[in-house]
Amino acid sequence: MLILPQEDIWQVQAITFINHQHNSQTQIQTILDLQSIDTCQDIPIKIINYVKNTEETLVIDNCQTNISEIIDEYILEFQPKSVLCTPILN
């Protein structure tokens, strides 16, 4: 997903979903729909806020992390195997 500030409000600009299907095909869907990070339910808000506040890249491999404050409903529901969240500073 791409999240950018828009008039001091952080907005989700785009979300791409990758679905691996049983027949070895991959389906990619990109949604271009401007919405506030506060109302978007398809994003890991605690991870995003952590990276936004620290301005550091966060990598979670094999769903293992020692940063307990970033675990939220998104992680528990979707159980991603890996997460990469990086700030765009310039």
Tell me the pLDDT tens digit for each residue of 4-37: 888 888 899 998 887 777 777 888 888 888 888 8
In this structure, the number of other CB atoms found within 10 A of the CB of residue 7 comes to 5
Per-residue model confidence (pLDDT) at position 60: 82
Per-residue model confidence (pLDDT) at position 70: 72
Tokens of residue 79, six digits? 């159980």
Q: Is 48 exposed, middle or buried (0-12, 13-18, 19+ CB in 10 A)?
A: buried
Q: Say how many CA atoms lie within 13 Å of 43 toward its Cβ.
A: 24
How many whole angstroms from its chain centre is CA 82? 11
Sequence-separated (6 or more) residues with CB below 8 Å from residue 14 = 1, 2, 30, 31, 32
pTM, two decimals, is 0.74
Tokens of residue 26, six digits? 């991959």
Structure confidence by residue, pLDDT tens digits, 49-80: 899 999 999 888 876 666 667 777 777 787 77
